[in-house]
Chains A and B, each alone.
Chain A
Amino acid sequence: MSVVGHQPPPFFKRGPAPLTRLAFFVTLSLALLVLDLRFRYLEVARQGVAFVLYPAQRAAYAPVELFDHIGDYFTSLAALQQDNAQLKRKELEAANWLMRQQHLELENQRLRQLLDMQARQPVPARLAEIIYTARDPFSRRVIVDKGTQQGIAAGQAVVDEAGVIGQVTRTYPLQSEVTLITDKNQAVPVQIVRNGLRAVLFGASGGQLELRFLAANADVVPGDLVVTSGLDGIYQAGLPVAKVVRVDRDAAYTFARILCEPAAGVERHGQVLILGSRGSLPPQIEEAEARDKPAKTRKGRKRE
């Protein structure tokens, strides 16, 4: 009973077959994966979705916050008194340094002027609080309660009272995401205080850090202090980062395996300082190459 122009009735119309739909959406999500992992094109989309999710996220955080506050409320008097005494002692100890620091900074400025060196810029800092650890179990990140509205930008260094804890890697309007130095993919250019040996520090498993690419006979011993070298233009030079705890030298490998313990309370919650970005930097190698390029093309043209 097939009449021209008559379709079968749409009783069982259900769209494309499940496998077709699966193939379509899998392709879409693979595209998302590649775009995000390789090209980082999706930050704007992420910002948009995060903006929609923000109220729900705050609401979901409320019970956890309440629980924390109840915990704070029942902190015993003795603990608070002990804390207070410790802080007073620390303040006294620090006062000695602080009083001289102003004098030293002035002196430093004068000496630098005398030597005609670039002056060290004062670094603005902003206090922020770690609200929670990001859920993603594959990386080590925390969320802090200051965002682009408060002038935080990706790339800023984050420190606590004892040393570097990480770097701002993603900003949202009211929050930002800090990748901790214990993350596997987070590299910090450092140097060893004792001998000025430069190296790169990576995160290792179990909240530890690893000094990579140092020769097996490098002069590193357990107990060495590791500070930022400032070569990357992100971290200020001289911020404490870690302390060497173990050095394995195996002749079979080119590099020594050097494990460090972070100096700051990286895996703790609390208040942190987000340091302002550093001022102008010397031109990067790529820029220098780019500057050289026109000269080369001109040469090529001449040859023609």
Chain B
Amino acid sequence: MSQPTHSSRRILLPVRQWFIVFTLLLALFLSLIPLGHAIGIPDWVALVLAFWSVREPLRVGMGAAFVLGVLMDVAAGSVMGQHALAYLLLTYGASSLSRRVLWFPLGQQALHILPMLLATQIVMVVTRLVGGADFPGFGYFLGSFTGALLWYPLTFVLLLPQYQPIEKDENRPI
């Protein structure tokens, strides 16, 4: 099955707004699972937010990023505004690069997503270091790499409701 990109010939159904909201809330729920300081766990909210910002830049905006960020701040017990700021910059970056990123096949899309996720984490580290916290060690950044690796399966899962059954029609051009 070929993945739909700008260059592929697969046509997708339009996305439903409730599905975007649902997946963002599901990502928030995944982030609430207490795993302590286990390293290499991706930031699910950042990942799904980046996905929808790249895919549907007009449907996911700064407001959603800000609200999710504040929720994550409370859930993680971190400083208020830390996640909010990082997610805002991520959403802005991802939606402004959306046209460019979608042009590439999925593997190279992941290479675009990796620096965005890393930048999100760096923003958080800088905010906390300014606030006087301890540096968590470089293992902290491993989460971004796992996130980038998950880009392919994530795209498949999140686009599942938009695939339409393939009808074989010889008279149709595409």
Residues of A whose CB lies within 8 Å of any CB of B are: 14, 18-19, 21-22, 24-26, 28-33, 35-37, 42, 45-46, 49-50, 53, 56-57, 59-61, 63-64, 131-139, 141, 143, 170, 177, 183-185, 203, 205
Contact = CB atoms under 8 A, between A and B. Distances in A.
A137 B66 contact: no
Contacts of B119: none
Contacts of B125: 138
B33 A18 contact: no
A26 to B, nearest CB: 6
Interface string B77-112: 111111011001100100110000000000000000
B80 A64 contact: no
Closest 8 CB pairs of A and B: A32-B81, A132-B34, A133-B36, A60-B32, A33-B81, A138-B133, A36-B80, A184-B134
B76 A37 contact: no
B140 interface: yes
Interface in B118-166: 125, 127-128, 131-134, 136, 140
Interface of B: 28-37, 58, 61-63, 65-66, 69-71, 74-82, 84-85, 88-89, 92, 95-96, 125, 127-128, 131-134, 136, 140
Contacts of A137: 37, 136, 140
A136 B34 contact: no
A49 B70 CA distance: 9
17 contacts: A18-B96, A22-B88, A25-B84, A26-B88, A28-B66, A28-B84, A29-B85, A31-B81, A33-B79, A37-B131, A46-B74, A57-B75, A60-B33, A134-B77, A138-B134, A139-B133, A184-B134
